[in-house]
Structure 1
Amino acid sequence: MAAMLTPPPRLTSLLFTPGSRPERFEKAVASGADGIIIDWEDAVPAADKDHVRAEVIAWLTERGRVGAPPFLTALRINSLRNAHGLADLDALNAAALPLDLVVLPKVESAAEVHQALRKLRGEVRLVCLVETVLGVRHAAEIATAAPQVAALAFGGFDLSAETGGEPTWDALLWPRTQVVHACAAAGVLALDQPCIALDDSAALTAECERVRALGFAGKLAVHPRQCAVIQAAFQPGAEQVARARRIVAAVEQAQGNVAVVDGQMIDVPMFRSAQRVLQRAGGGGAS
């Protein structure tokens, strides 16, 4: 029987850092992110990929990881549909690095998930980027491909480039919703794309609030100063937490009878929503 995986990690914010800039790796720990994504894909030109891959593996082999747990160390490899991605997988297999997460870009099928897992060692989990038309179409298949899938991350910029559309909120609402629904059905986390407004914390907060309302559990970041804003936006407010505690306590005390909170009858979906609020707040109890 296969060993049980540990519970999925908290992924409210993950910070992309170019693989070509190892001097920035440890600085990511102070950003407030839940982890770093060392990027071998978009941040590295094709001519530099072999060199950067070797440099990052040497860095991680020497140090083991970036920061200390619970800070997460992740790598975004190249697409498995090109030679760079296949070389990335072979290198990770040979190095046996103690990674927490491997981020797979432009995933379009469960077969790509299985392909990655055949090479990766240990208890590494996957974040699958859904950023193509086929990826959105097959989101449910990808989310349920293996227990190691921790999250799907929506990528609207690549998707818009493929369709010829604009990466606006309205244009991306439908594919975002498809990703959230696939994640909810599979019991995995949904993460949203980075906000490209690097100097506009109000715009970032508004984006976080909109995707949180859809059901996203977190958001990717491309600059350290975005991480604290993302963490705050996805953290439930004091009134929301207090109401969630009342709901959980009332249901537990009702012992199968009807529970009422603030004049409202509490049904099973409301109870589950309250439990999720408390989990996001860092405490699942009713005390």
Structure 2
Amino acid sequence: MIKSLLCAPPNKYDVVSKSIEVNASVAHFDLEDSVPERQKEKARDLISASLLRNNQIKTAVRINAIDTKYGLEDILFFINREVSPDFFILPKVEAPESVNIVGDILRQAFPNVKLFCVIESIKALKSLDRIVNASSYIDGLIFGSADFSESMGKVPSALDLTFARTEISLAANQINAYAIDSPCFSLENINELDQECRIARRLGYHGKIAIHPKQVSLINEVFSPTQEELDFSNEVIEASERLNHKSCSSISTVKSNMIGPPFIKMARKIINAAG
């Protein structure tokens, strides 16, 4: 399960080693905003070398938007080098056509390619149903709160972004994809990170991007099933097994909760999420 993605440009530190050190789910390389134009070619080389050395952790690369020359160069670079992360992250997705174009091209070189789409504008949010229902390549949706807030003409802290977060979570869960929340940009305020994580989890998100290694442990903790959830899930599974053995009903009671097939499916998902 993906809970935390530690994001950094490849020239900041060894993203793979640091991600393994702090137990991040994914080592997330950024080729977009954090890499100046003059350094993008060098950054690609660093990422390629790191991907070739790595066999210990899942990796993701956020390429540049495909309507820019840097985005096209990113795609061609990985194809020509014959090296791929586990996930390509597509920023500024606003229509299904862009997802399908990138997916079609990459799949010729990488048959198992998976794409995460960043939803970070009003237009993207309004097109969300079309995006998720018209492409089979999407394995995750990421909320980009900074760019989304900019499209609203406000800083993130001045907006209630619950509606946008909810829509993205619903769209991701509808297609059995990951819903990943945007980073917490306050590096020193652990309470703010904790609050953001808990809000996102309650909205159905599976994880969150970290922009500093020290954020990873809290993200992992919040997005992991609690002991109470695990205990309840195990009791639900045990109750369902007793029902199957008796073959008398599909409804039982656990801790004063009437349970049926939806609870059993939910319990299995929670147990799987806990590994």
TM-score of the pair, normalised by structure 1 = 0.87
Structure 2 residues not aligned, in runs of 5+? none
Given candidates 179, 184, 193, the residue that maps to 2:168 is 179
CA distance in structure 1 between the aligned counterparts of 2:272 and 2:185, rounded to whole angstroms: 29
Matching residue's letter, 1:214:
L
Deviations 1:155-209 (A, max 9, x none): 1110010111331386211111110111121111100000112122222122111
User: Given the alignment of the two structures, is residue 111 of structure 1 paired with residue 97 of structure 2, yes or no?
Assistant: yes
CA distance in structure 2 between the aligned counterparts of 1:275 and 1:168, rounded to whole angstroms: 36
CA distance in structure 2 between the aligned counterparts of 1:108 and 1:159, rounded to whole angstroms: 12
User: Given the alignment of the two structures, is residue 86 of structure 1 paired with residue 72 of structure 2, yes or no?
Assistant: yes
CA distance in structure 2 between the aligned counterparts of 1:258 and 1:138, rounded to whole angstroms: 40
Matching residue's letter, 1:48:
Q
Partner of 1:64: 52
CA 1:238–1:113 in 2, change beyond 3 Å: closer, same or farther?
Answer: same
Deviations 1:109-168 (A, max 9, x none): 111111112222322211111111121122233334444321101111100101113313
CA contact (8 A) 1:40 1:53 kept: yes
CA contact (8 A) 2:149 2:159 kept: no
Matching residue's letter, 1:239:
E
Deviations 1:214-253 (A, max 9, x none): 1000001100111111001111111211011111221232
CA distance in structure 2 between the aligned counterparts of 1:268 and 1:170, rounded to whole angstroms: 39
CA distance in structure 1 between the aligned counterparts of 2:53 and 2:139, rounded to whole angstroms: 19
Partner of 2:61: 75
SS of 1:64's equivalent?
helix
User: Given the alignment of the two structures, is residue 216 of structure 1 paired with residue 205 of structure 2, yes or no?
Assistant: yes
CA distance in structure 2 between the aligned counterparts of 1:144 and 1:20, rounded to whole angstroms: 37
Q: Identity over the aligned pairs, expressed in percent?
A: 29
Matching residue's letter, 2:126:
R
Given candidates 16, 38, 43, the residue that maps to 1:52 is 43
CA contact (8 A) 1:79 1:106 kept: yes
Aligned residues: 268
Deviations 1:3-62 (A, max 9, x none): xxxxxxx210011111333545422221210111111001101222233223433x24xx
Counting only pairs closer than 5 Å after superposition, residues 147-186 of structure 1 correspond to structure 2 as 147-168=136-157, 171-186=160-175
Partner of 2:270: 277
Matching residue's letter, 2:194:
T
Structure 1 residues not aligned, in runs of 5+? 1-9, 283-287
Counting only pairs closer than 5 Å after superposition, residues 1-12 of structure 1 correspond to structure 2 as 10-12=1-3
Matching residue's letter, 1:64:
L
Structure 1: 4+ residue segments shifted above 3 A: 21-25, 144-148
SS of 2:139's equivalent?
strand
User: Given the alignment of the two structures, is residue 266 of structure 1 paired with residue 259 of structure 2, yes or no?
Assistant: yes
CA contact (8 A) 1:16 1:36 kept: yes
CA RMSD of aligned residues (A): 1.9
Counting only pairs closer than 5 Å after superposition, residues 87-102 of structure 1 correspond to structure 2 as 87-102=73-88
Matching residue's letter, 2:120:
E
CA contact (8 A) 1:17 1:25 kept: no
CA distance in structure 1 between the aligned counterparts of 2:158 and 2:129, rounded to whole angstroms: 22
Partner of 2:181: 192
Matching residue's letter, 2:100:
H
CA distance in structure 1 between the aligned counterparts of 2:58 and 2:130, rounded to whole angstroms: 26
CA distance in structure 1 between the aligned counterparts of 2:26 and 2:124, rounded to whole angstroms: 24
CA distance in structure 2 between the aligned counterparts of 1:143 and 1:192, rounded to whole angstroms: 17
